[in-house]
Amino acid sequence: MHFPEACDFVVFGGTGDLALRKLLPALYHCDLEGRLPADTRVIAVSRSELDDDGYRAEARAALAEHVAAEFQDLAAVERLLERVHYVTVDVQDPGSWQPLFDTLKDRENADEAVRVFYLSVAPSLFGPICHELGVNGFAEAPARVVVEKPIGTDLASAKAVNNTISEFFDESQIFRIDHYLGKESVQNLLVTRFANTFLEPLWNSHSIDHVQITVAETLGTGNRAGYYDRSGAMRDMVQNHLLQLLCLVAMEPPIEIGGGREDVRDEKLKVLQALKPMTPADVDRDTVRGRYTSGWVAGKPVEGYVEELGHESMTETFVAIKAEVQNWRWAGVPFYLRTGKRLDRRVSEIVVVFKNAPYDPFRQREGVTEPNRLTIRVQPEEGMQIHLNAKEPGPGGYRLKPVSLDLSYANAFDKRSPDAYERLLMDVIRGNMTLFMRRDEVEAAWAWCEPILKHWESAALTPKSYPAGSAGPTASFTLIERDGRSWQES
């Protein structure tokens, strides 16, 4: 890894929601804290007919809206905007690219600057963009290309997307971003596991009963309805976010984290390869598809998915899966995954549930006990909880009660917790690929998900209904309760 002195950060789709809501605020915070290379330019690219001043006005408004008030610094905003340039390009028209090429060359150290091409556009445009950059000599290292999900809609299309990008960029230049991996709590999962000796001897099938991974949203599909109806919860969330979290929970200790090595990505790939393949019978028994109907969220009535969409659909807005990692460490330990929209709470968390003690010397006790649990909260409030059983104060025997040791990152550390994109964008500039998905990871995830998707399609079963504002379809509770377990609502 090398921290460059000069960088051109080029955002295709520069007028889009992601660029204005996430990328520009992330670059602002990096610049505010002095983390950007001194000679950095931000070049927004889109079809819209704007000039530098017009785009800077849009960027200024976006920063005012999406940067928290306590971090608003007008001088810092203007300093970032001085770095910002805008170029109008229709990426499907080769004749419109020359102004961008001229802008990239228009600097004293053009040959030394690291060029980051962030493709915040539809996957169908990855090919035309990479082709034009490649044939015009802008894809050579140290250039980097960043691509957002979805990387395909199945294994074949994922391979096609990867082949398209790889025609012009080497794998060492391709950064497939999953913003969940940039969250502080997710990175702290690695620290929790591998920098604390008391946990590692327990992190296996001898001590852990099962693992739950939940990503729940109260929002509906909103302005993503068209995209979402082509993807559904399985493609939108499980294939990437949830499986990435599963990998970090289940992976073996890497030799080194960071440092430009591939150890973390190697170990994540092994987990994906160890996932038990799903047969049609497994899919019927161990998966649940759901779709929200009308209901109440935060005290307000909301429409069902079909009403929001405006036509009939077989798309799922909720998925629950019982998965198994077939290796020495995890044999017999189920991993329960669930994700959905229009649920009763917004939360992303990992719950590691430990086995009960082999013998209970307090069997004559009063009170209630629960299995020990480690809860890692990814959002909305990042932190960890350890759930223990303790004796209630007082004489006259042992009355036991579950209690929690709560670590809030906001309270424990007297500093701002950076947004996921801040960390990931700086890693791209540095060339650190640890928190990005490798091609074989993406394709291994699709290889596991595809049999589930194909069976759902062939069975043509309507997703099970659940009211908006509920905890999901009843079948998702049956899925886990038939094993004598229950979803943990921390």
Active-site option among 179, 241, 387, 455: 241
CA 403 to chain centroid: 30
Tell me the C-alpha distance between 339 and 109, whole Å.
Answer: 47
Which residues in 245-398 belong to E strands, given as ranges? 287-293, 295-297, 300-302, 318-324, 334-340, 347-354, 366-367, 373-379, 383-391
Phi, psi of 319 (to 5 degrees): -140, 135
User: Residue 182: phi, psi to the nearest 5?
Assistant: -90, -5
**Structure letter (DSSP) for residue 49:** -
Structure tokens at 181: 């991996």
Q: Within a 10 A sphere around the Cβ of 226, how many other Cβ atoms?
A: 9
Two structure tokens written together for 210? 């099962």
d(CA 392, CA 377): 27
Q: For residues 322 and 286, is the Cβ–Cβ distance under 8 A?
A: yes
Neighbours of 483 (CB within 10 A): 12
Q: Check if the beta carbon of residue 389 is closer than 8 Å to that of residue 402.
A: yes
DSSP structural state of residue 254: P
Burial annotation 302-338 (CB, 10 A radius, 16+ → b, else e): bebbeebbeeebebbbbbbbbbbbeeebbeebbbbbb
Active site residue 241: yes
User: Active-site positions?
Assistant: 241
